[in-house]
């Protein structure tokens, strides 16, 4: 199954059973992810109010039109200040005028884009867009397009966090604009499998030892891939990052912006870098936070992520030990060994939970991975492990795993996990057969004794995906773009610091900010040095000091 930690988890409102404290500031994680062979999500805080806007079927939701409509009729021309399309065949899309309507305290609209950019006169799909108007209109700088990661994360929910998500300075000076990328959430959504089928995939052993177990893993992944084609048809072939980047340029034009100002986190950095490569002269003020290195192969990405999660786990255990009376032991090595032994045990003997589902190996890994994204969540993990060790009950770990996967009490609350696989399988077509994965165990276990084998199976996740794009990795230079700010964090589990360092060097105009800390991403993570530099760049155009360390 090979689902490695996501880049960002879903709304996690309820504290873990047992009274674990809520993260400071009332921040709720968003489940997204960076699948690079393995499924990896990233954790970014989002204001509770922002998430609540999209719960239930109320007047605060926006749903894109159904797939299958034709290209939009040219509306009144887009604002003169906006750069038009360089392709006359796309003029109808670039010239469309969005019909903004109130959705709670915000404004929502549906943008049309071509399903297939090689057939611009063919079928169009809807992209849901949400705008949080600038808090201080007299100081408004423009529109800031944001993406929280994934692939599969909702830009609507991310943007709706407003000042709670992005800080008062950005929220006052910018209209914060989020969109659900093609196939995601409120846009014309990708549909692949039902709840039971997704449960079977995510709960399955992420590192099967036998040939029969690996065959079962292949079967579960084939069910997902074939389901995407059966349930979603051509949309499943057109959810790549390159296509989403082209959608962003149409969004730029509909916003009347000659250049795009953008803040992308985690997978959102890959989306932003891809945009910069495709449209370097349309780049405005860019921030890529928690960066992915687009030059790396699937194997390199998976191996470095394995190392990143092991580093984060050891930081968590070290903190537990330092506080005294740690449930994991008296040393970091003892603690990581106990967690590994626990995961091995659950593989053969799942734990009961307060639900009808058992905590299997797959769910246990997800439950441990999620808190590693945010240091404030470490107490949740300690409480959950204590319950599992002392009471032989997996309820708290299952709560964390469900948050990771956006699973509600009876079904999934969004389609982020389906999109995660579908996009990554199109973006990376360099997978190996599952039967060949064990030959790579040694190198993965060397960098991650705890999670190595699970991450190794990221090498084969998409080997039997029914759609092969032929896309391979390569460096992104964005020649001709203005300065692009890249942020990396020293102990980031999902997007290791090395990736940010590499991307900042590959980009012709990259400049790096390094945050010394734990957790995923750097902006709005309690580091004023990072926050001040980002705000000065986006609001005033003041470039950060070269190689700024915070």
Q: Does pLDDT of 508 surpass 60?
A: yes
What proportion of the chain, given as a percentage, has pLDDT over 70?
84
Note if 520 is an active site residue.
yes
Q: Does pLDDT of 471 surpass 70?
A: yes
Q: Does pLDDT of 71 surpass 80?
A: no
Question: Stretch 377-406: mean pLDDT, rounded?
Answer: 97
Q: Which has more pLDDT, 51 or 186?
A: 186
Name the band, by pLDDT with cuts 50, 70 and 90, for residue 109: very high
Name the band, by pLDDT with cuts 50, 70 and 90, for residue 84: low
CA–CA dist 243, 248 (Å, integer): 9
Q: What is the pLDDT of residue 60?
A: 34
Question: Stretch 163-183: mean pLDDT, rounded?
Answer: 97
Q: What is the pLDDT of residue 52?
A: 24
CA–CA dist 128, 130 (Å, integer): 7
Q: Does pLDDT of 79 surpass 80?
A: no
**Cα four-point dihedral sign 491, 495, 499, 501:** negative
Q: Does pLDDT of 250 surpass 90?
A: yes
Q: Which two tokens stand for residue 423?
A: 């996009």
Q: Does pLDDT of 29 surpass 70?
A: no
Residue whose tokens read 């300065």: 483
CB-CB contact of 276 with 481 (8 Å): yes
Catalytic residue among 78, 266, 395, 460: 266
Q: Does pLDDT of 394 surpass 60?
A: yes
Q: What is the pLDDT of residue 82?
A: 64
Range with lowest mean pLDDT among 336-345, 363-372, 464-473: 464-473
Q: Does pLDDT of 370 surpass 90?
A: yes
Q: Quote the crossing angle between the two packed helices 395-405 and 361-369, to the nearest 10°.
A: 70
Q: Does pLDDT of 56 surpass 80?
A: no
CA–CA dist 223, 192 (Å, integer): 9
Q: How far is CA 129 from CA 117, 254, 259, in A?
A: 20, 11, 18
Q: What is the pLDDT of residue 85?
A: 64
What proportion of the chain, given as a percentage, has pLDDT over 90?
82
Question: Stretch 259-271: mean pLDDT, rounded?
Answer: 97
Q: What is the pLDDT of residue 64?
A: 47
> Strands, E, within 7-85: which ranges?
27-30, 44-47, 69-70
Question: Stretch 253-282: mean pLDDT, rounded?
Answer: 97
| Residue 522, CA atoms < 13 Å, CB-side half-sphere | 34
Q: What is the pLDDT of residue 378?
A: 97
Name the band, by pLDDT with cuts 50, 70 and 90, for residue 87: confident
Q: What is the pLDDT of residue 473?
A: 87
Q: Which has more pLDDT, 485 or 29?
A: 485
Catalytic residue among 180, 247, 492, 531: 492
Catalytic residue among 282, 428, 440, 520: 520
CB-CB contact of 373 with 519 (8 Å): yes
Q: Does pLDDT of 365 surpass 70?
A: yes
CA–CA dist 316, 328 (Å, integer): 11
Q: Does pLDDT of 434 surpass 90?
A: yes
Name the band, by pLDDT with cuts 50, 70 and 90, for residue 472: confident
Range with lowest mean pLDDT among 12-26, 253-267, 459-473: 12-26
Q: Does pLDDT of 382 surpass 70?
A: yes
Q: What is the pLDDT of residue 444?
A: 97
Question: Stretch 464-489: mean pLDDT, rounded?
Answer: 94
CA–CA dist 481, 310 (Å, integer): 36
Question: Stretch 341-361: mean pLDDT, rounded?
Answer: 96
The mean predicted confidence, pLDDT, of the chain is 87
């Amino acid at each position: 199954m090979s689902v490695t930690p996501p880049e960002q988890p879903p709304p996690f409102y309820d504290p873990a059973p047992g009274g674990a404290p809520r993260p400071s500031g009332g921040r709720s994680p968003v489940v997204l992810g960076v699948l690079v062979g393995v499924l990896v999500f990233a954790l970014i805080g989002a204001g509770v109010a922002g998430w609540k806007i999209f719960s239930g079927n109320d007047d605060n939701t926006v749903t894109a039109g159904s797939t299958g409509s034709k290209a939009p009729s040219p509306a009144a021309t887009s604002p003169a200040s906006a750069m038009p399309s360089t392709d006359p065949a796309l003029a109808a899309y670039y010239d469309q005028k969005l019909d903004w309507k109130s959705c709670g305290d915000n404004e929502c609209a549906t943008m049309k884009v071509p399903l297939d950019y090689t057939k611009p006169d063919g079928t169009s799909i809807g992209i849901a867009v949400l705008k949080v108007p600038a808090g201080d209109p007299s100081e408004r700088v423009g529109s800031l397009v944001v993406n929280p990661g994934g692939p599969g994360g909702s830009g609507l929910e991310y943007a709706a966090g407003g000042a709670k998500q992005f800080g008062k300075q950005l929220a006052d000076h910018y209209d914060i604009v989020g969109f659900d990328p093609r196939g995601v959430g409120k846009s014309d959504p990708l549909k692949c499998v039902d709840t039971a089928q997704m449960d079977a995939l995510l709960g399955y052993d992420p590192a099967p030892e036998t040939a029969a177990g690996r065959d079962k893993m292949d079967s579960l992944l084939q069910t997902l891939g074939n389901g995407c084609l059966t349930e979603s048809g051509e949309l499943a072939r057109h959810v790549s990052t390159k296509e989403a980047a082209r959608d962003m340029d149409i969004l730029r034009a509909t916003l009347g912006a000659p250049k795009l100002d953008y803040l992308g986190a985690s997978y959102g950095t890959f989306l932003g870098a891809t945009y910069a490569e495709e449209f370097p002269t349309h780049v405005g003020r860019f921030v890529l936070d928690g960066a992915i290195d687009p030059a790396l192969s699937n194997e390199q990405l998976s191996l470095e992520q394995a190392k990143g999660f092991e580093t984060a786990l050891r930081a968590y255990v070290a903190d537990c030990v330092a506080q005294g009376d740690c449930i994991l032991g008296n040393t970091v090595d003892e603690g990581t060994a106990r967690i590994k032994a626990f995961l091995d045990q659950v593989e053969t003997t799942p734990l009961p939970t307060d639900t009808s589902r058992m905590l299997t190996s797959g769910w246990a890994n997800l439950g441990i991975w999620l808190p590693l994204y945010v240091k404030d969540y470490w107490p949740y993990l300690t409480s959950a492990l204590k319950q599992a060790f002392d009471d032989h009950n997996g309820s708290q770990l299952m709560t964390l795993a469900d948050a990771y996967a956006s699973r509600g009490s009876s079904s999934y609350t969004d389609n982020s996990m389906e999109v995660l696989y579908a996009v990554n399988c199109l973006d990376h077509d360099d997978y190996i057969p599952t039967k060949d994965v064990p030959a790579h165990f040694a190198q993965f276990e060397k960098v991650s004794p705890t999670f190595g084998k699970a991450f190794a199976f990221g090498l084969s996740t998409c080997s039997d995906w029914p759609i092969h794009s032929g896309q391979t990795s390569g460096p992104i230079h964005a020649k001709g773009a203005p300065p692009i700010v890249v942020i990396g964090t020293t102990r980031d589990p999902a997007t290791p610091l090395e990736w940010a360092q590499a991307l900042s060097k590959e980009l012709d105009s990259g400049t790096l900010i390094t945050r010394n800390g734990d957790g995923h991403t750097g902006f709005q993570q309690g580091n004023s040095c990072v926050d001040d530099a980002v705000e000065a760049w986006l609001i005033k155009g003041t470039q950060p000091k070269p190689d700024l360390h915070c």
